[in-house]
Structure 1
């Protein structure tokens, strides 16, 4: 199969950039049973291209795989492919959804061996890691219970969540208060995905 031939390739990113998602696009693909004609909306070709990228294969190879998984009795191959693609993406979404939640990302970030905390836009402490607890006990040994710690950033949390893109980071002054004791330090603030973010994660850097 000649992957450079325009009638055998999966739809390209360039094609989709200029095509309405519901616009039907015609393609032919070589299979072990011969050439197969397919007419799918642009959004389905886009989905197939995404699936191919995740599987590290070329879009035409992904199309052939999908065709091989369709029912032998399918009277409408294009309709069968739409169903398979939609089902696979739904299954993939269900698998990834828990991993993409804000708290899951926070937990993953806080596995590093660095004192870390997480604040929401209301400045409420959402989560700290064990290193953060040990850090407070070492630098504020005479203070009260760690659970009473209040964190104040140099810039308000809600402002950081609004102004800093998800996946970006900045350095910010931080003061930690436990009862009448205060510790001033610096933290690297990371805004974890997904956007719009509602939790920020800080790592104490000195």
Structure 2
């Protein structure tokens, strides 16, 4: 995607697009939309996603989604791939500022009536998901299904180091069960 859009190494794709002149930006966004359409056509539910969602639902723990994808991708995901209640809220890159800024997590905490420190951010990007979670004060789980991070992320900058490391959504569920006290909003224990 970065190559097709022409994003220089080391630059954030969305920031790069935002900094372009309107006519050039429109051209590059059109290229991005082609790549995203291909991605939506190939979209598959990650193994263990349904089971993890059911686990959270059974305990009254709400689920939200924070993504740098566009709203159309989230809509397709909910309509064609996810047969449980939708993630709510589901915040896309149209929610500004997008991650790694903590605003989306702060919004979710406010929406649920809890503190950001009570959230768990689960994501596959240390620089976007983990950084966003840490900036918000949330717990973080780095989901590394493709072995992208050596030594469980130990060599990453401090802001990108997760509280927990998982290689599957089943690992995430084990972490949630054994390491964190899961309660839904309004179900706080003293």
Range of TM-score over shorter length: under 0.3
**TM-score when scaled to structure 1?**
0.21
Please say which structure displays the higher CA radius of gyration.
Answer: 1
Higher relative contact order (CA 8 A, sep 6+): 2
**TM-score when scaled to structure 2?**
0.23
User: Comparing both structures, which one devotes a greater share of its residues to helix?
Assistant: 2
User: Comparing both structures, which one devotes a greater share of its residues to strand?
Assistant: 1
